[in-house]
Structure 1
Amino acid sequence: MNNITEVAYKPVRRIVTGHNEAGESIITSDANTPNVLAQAGKPVAQVVWATGVGRADGLDPAPAGHKFGFHSDEGSLLRIVDFPPDEVYDQEKLVEFLDSEGVRDKKKPRHFWFHKTQSLDYAVVLEGEIVAMMDHGETVMRPGDVLVQRATNHSWSNRSGRNCRMLFVLLALKEGEEL
């Protein structure tokens, strides 16, 4: 990506199984993930599957273009995200997005991406590297590393100069639910 008007990402192939009329297992679809949020200056998010409220009235899966938040209330969300290097972000648009979702850290964030969601998130680096930041402390994550984010204030800082692809499984929590 040479400037913030370009949104480069690799589509995620999604294969979904089900049952035929005889109750036997079949592949019901095999195509690129239909729910892609690709906007200049932001990470590219591809929602592979959702349960709970994000499932959109029982449609299996939610239709292309369905708006997803950070997680799916009363359910789960499987998302692949391509994080560009920090210098590529349109920080103003990202702050607007975080504010619109009601998750941005407005105190004294260490990084423009700092946010907190009421969810248990499993974050896996697939390609590249990223720095997982907390209010105090940080660690570099590389392919195969897994972070268990337990409704904490956090940020993702890509200081590598190239995209980082991550897989997230996000499980919605009820307000005050213990982890």
Structure 2
Amino acid sequence: MPLGSHPPSSTLRRAPPLWPLGASRSPIPTSTCSTLRPRPRIQSVALGEHGAGLVTIVSSLNPLVSALHPIPTLTAKPSRQLPSALPHPAPQSSFRPTMSTPALQSPFPPVRRVVTGHTTSGKSVVVADQVQPIRPEILCFDLHYSGTLPPLNPVGEDFVDEIKDHPGVPPEPNACSFRAWDFAPGSVTLVHRTISMDYGVLLKGSIVLELDDGKRVSLREGDTVVQRGTLHTWRNESAEWTRIMFMMIAAKPIEIGGSELKEQFTPAE
């Protein structure tokens, strides 16, 4: 047959009809896709007691599609809001870290503590030499505590570590404590006052001391601060970690206008 010519109509073969002639036509069957794909169920799950995040989960997917193309499991991450690093957090009775508090890892090495004393014969000796563990809930190293003022220097090589029995941060009346604190980038403490005299040395990084009158003082490595019972906040506004050491000594109450100033712990703005 020449190219482009057509065969006579008598030789054409017609495809059989989809339905026999004269038979009624039934409606087109429903697609199996619609029967295998029920409407998904949407579930919203809140993460953490502080509402750190919200995850939407789609369930009741097509089992066949799910088997062939399984959906990867996604781990929801909490918000990037950093917890407060507290140089003077609220007393132990009101400070309750939770399991939802994100764990932070300071890049600084642990703090080594060396404690000296005397033998019964009057010789000077080292009674303790160890690396102190960090308290992850407040990023603090407990170094020393004395429940009396002036502190006692017991004789003997058996060192009694009083700080283990005094986990609260503000020292009790007639007591003093020595601690190191690590501040995460962007962290802010409570607005707080403790009835104490605090001696601080900034070892690493930078930090801003903010008073209740709005005064802000930027501190750098090597700077010192004498905190005399004022209402204040610490802000690490840098992108780097900061470490400060504090010696806190219980002080007499401050009287202004015949009224004593009390310890105070409130969230910062």
- Give the TM-score of the pair, scaled to structure 2: 0.49
Q: State the structure with bigger RCO (CA 8 A, min sep 6), 1 or 2.
A: 1
SS of residue paired to 2:239: coil
Q: Deviations over 1:66-122 (max 9, x none)?
A: 512222431211110001112xx5xxxxxxxxxxxxxxxxxxxxx652111111111
Aligned with 1:149 (options 227, 239, 242): 227
Q: Bigger radius of gyration, 1 or 2?
A: 2
Partners of 1:163 and 1:65 lie apart in 2 by 29
Matched, 1:18 2:95: no
Unaligned runs of 5+ in 2: 1-79, 83-101, 257-269
SS of residue paired to 1:132: strand
State the AA in 1 paired with 2:131.
N
The residue aligned with 2:202 is: 125
- Give the TM-score of the pair, scaled to structure 1: 0.71
Partners of 1:174 and 1:71 lie apart in 2 by 12
State the AA in 1 paired with 2:170.
F
SS of residue paired to 2:160: coil
Aligned with 2:147 (options 44, 52, 55): 52
Give the number of equivalent residue pairs: 147
Aligned with 1:171 (options 249, 257, 268): 249
The residue aligned with 1:30 is: 129
Aligned with 1:138 (options 216, 225, 240): 216
169-178 or 132-141, which deviates more: 169-178
Deviation at 1:52, TM superposition (A): 1.5
59-68 or 111-120, which deviates more: 59-68
SS of residue paired to 1:115: strand
177 and 123 in structure 1: CA distance in 2 versus 1, 3 angstrom threshold: farther
State the AA in 2 paired with 1:131.
V
Alignment map for 1:79-118 (pairs within 5 Å)? 79-86=179-186, 89=187, 113-118=190-195
Unaligned runs of 5+ in 1: 90-110
**CA-based RMSD:** 2.7
